[in-house]
Each structure stands twice: as structure tokens, then as C-alpha cells.
Amino acid sequence: AAKRIQERLGRPFAPRAVFIVPQLPKTRSSKIMRRVIRSVYSGLPAGDLSSLVNPEAIAEIERVIKQG
């Protein structure tokens, strides 16, 4: 996937890695919680998760990142 992005948009826009996960963390209003994704990827505390409807998504993201 990263190679495809590089071919279409150029090298400066190519991501270092692409992770495919079954679901993304979302709020009750179905908004993706990007802050949580950034925190998990960076290894930082995710912070307030009270509006998260699918906490299992965080564990899935952590698992996929560890697999590399």
C-alpha cells in the first residue's frame, strides 16, 4: 500500500508503514478517534476513552503494530 501511494503522489507523501486493522476506534456518533490512534501508535497513554464505543479496536491496533 505504501508503494502505491508513493507511485501516485510521489516519494514525499509515502508513509513509512501501513497497518490494516479490522476496525477503528469510534465515538457514539461514529467519528473516528484519531487522537487515540496516534497515542497507541506513539506508545503514549490514550487519555479519556469515555466516548469510545468499541474499546476492542485499541487492542487490535496494538496487536497489528507489534506484529510490524
pLDDT digits (tens, 9 = 90+) for 14-67: 888 889 999 999 999 999 999 999 999 999 998 999 999 999 999 999 999 999
User: From CA 24, how far away is CA 14, in angstroms rounded?
Assistant: 21
Secondary structure letter of residue 13 according to DSSP: G
Amino acid at 36: V
pLDDT for 15 = 86
pLDDT for 60 = 96
Question: What count of other Cβ atoms lies within 10 Å of the Cβ of residue 60?
Answer: 17
Band of residue 3 on the pLDDT scale cut at 50, 70, 90: confident
CA atoms within 13 A on the CB side of 23: 13
Residue tagged 487519555 (cell numbers): 47
For residues 39 and 47, is the Cβ–Cβ distance under 8 A? yes
pLDDT for 50 = 94
Is 68's pLDDT higher than 80? yes
